[in-house]
Amino acid sequence: MYRYLKLCLAVLFFTAGGVAASAQDAPKRSITKISGDLYRFQNNFHYSVFLVTADGVMVTDPINAGAARWLKAEIAKRFAKPIRYVIYSHDHRDHIAGGEVFAEDGALVVAHERAKAVIIGEKRPTAVPQITFRRKLTLELGGQVVELVHVGRNHSNNMIVMRFPKERVLFAVDFIPVKTVPYRNLSDSYLPEWIRSLRRVEFMDFDILAPGHGAMGTKADVAAMRGYLTDLYKQVLAQARMGKSLAETKAAVDLSQYKDWGQFQAWSPLNIEGAYRQVQMHRRGN
C-alpha cells in the first residue's frame, strides 16, 4: 500500500509539473482596441494590427501559423466577419510566417514587390503575395481605408508602413522601436537610408505609432529614433574616417544620452558593430 501511495504521489507530481510547464510555455496572446475599429494583436513579443469593416477584416502580419489560427478563430468569434486581406510589413519570417492560414479561406495577400521576390526565392513559410506595389497602394473595404507606403530602405529593402487615416494610426514594424535601441547588429539594414525613411514618416499624418514590438508610441518617437541613428552613424563614420579599429570605435562612440532606452546595455555595442560594418562596406564601394 505504501509503495502504491508513493507511486500515485509521484504521478500527480509529474503530471502537475507537466501542466505547469505547458502553461508556462503557452504563447501570450491578446487583442486590444487601439481606436475605432482598429485592434492590436499580441503574440508574445510580436504585434500586428487588424481593421474590422462592414464588408470584412484586413489583417496584417500573421507572425506564425499558430498565432494566425488563433487570431482567425478570435475574429470569427468576436466579429463574425470574413478576412479579406492580409498585409505583410516586409519579408522577414518572424513577422509573416503563417499567411496561408488566412489565404486558404480566400484572403488576398498584399506586400511590397521586393518582398514577394524574397518570399519566393527563399521559400518563406507563408502565402505568396497576390497583390504587390512599388511605392504606394490604398486598399478600401467596407468604407474603410488603409494606405500602404514604401518609405525607402531601412530595416529591410521592402519594408512598408500602414497608415489608417480615420484612426490616425501608423503601423510600422522593426525600424521604429519606441524608446528601445534597434535589434542587435543591424543585419539586413541600410543605415543612411533608414534615417531618411524616418524623416519621411515624420511628414506623414498620424498621432499613434503602433510598432511590431513593444509599447505604443507617437510621432515624437519617430524623431527620437532618427536622432539615435543619426548620432550612431555620424560618430561611427567619424571614427572610421580617422582609421580607427572597431574596438577603438566602440570605446570612442558615446550614446549615453540614450542609456535609459530598452536594451541599451545589451544592444547598443552591437549597433556600433553593425554601423561600423556598413561604413566600411560603403568606404570600399560595396
Average pLDDT score over residue span 234-239: 98
- In the predicted model, what is the mean pLDDT of the chain? 92
Average pLDDT score over residue span 184-189: 95
Percent of the chain with pLDDT over 90: 89
Residue 110 is predicted with a pLDDT of 99
Average pLDDT score over residue span 254-267: 98
Cell of 112: 511590397
Average pLDDT score over residue span 170-181: 98
Cα–Cα–Cα angle for 9, 11, 15, nearest 5°? 120
Question: For residue 96, is pLDDT > 50?
Answer: yes
Q: Please report the beta strands in the chain, taking only residues with DSSP state E, as ranges in sequence order.
A: 29-35, 38-43, 46-53, 56-59, 83-87, 108-112, 131-133, 136-141, 144-149, 161-164, 169-172, 208-211, 217-218
Question: For residue 234, is pLDDT > 80?
Answer: yes
Tell me: the pLDDT tens digits for 214-233? 999 999 999 999 999 999 99
Give 8 or 228, the one with higher predicted confidence: 228
Residue 24 is predicted with a pLDDT of 57
Question: For residue 18, is pLDDT > 80?
Answer: no
Average pLDDT score over residue span 13-29: 58
**Dist CA 243 CA 155 (whole Å):** 27
Question: For residue 193, is pLDDT > 90?
Answer: yes
Could you count the other beta carbons within 10 Å of the beta carbon of residue 187?
11
Which of 57, 40, 58 is CA-nearest to residue 49?
Answer: 40
Residue 282 is predicted with a pLDDT of 73
Tell me: the pLDDT tens digits for 55-81? 999 999 999 999 999 999 999 999 999
157, 190 contact by CB (below 8 A): yes
Question: For residue 44, is pLDDT > 90?
Answer: yes
163, 206 contact by CB (below 8 A): yes
Tell me: the pLDDT tens digits for 127-151? 999 999 999 999 999 999 999 999 9
Residue 14 is predicted with a pLDDT of 39
**Dist CA 214 CA 157 (whole Å):** 22
Tell me: the pLDDT tens digits for 245-256? 999 999 999 999
| Total-model pTM | 0.90
Confidence of residue 281 (pLDDT cuts 50, 70, 90): confident
Question: For residue 20, is pLDDT > 70?
Answer: no
Query: Span 23-174: which CATH code?
Result: 3.60.15.10
Residue 159 is predicted with a pLDDT of 98
Residue 4 is predicted with a pLDDT of 40
Confidence of residue 5 (pLDDT cuts 50, 70, 90): very low
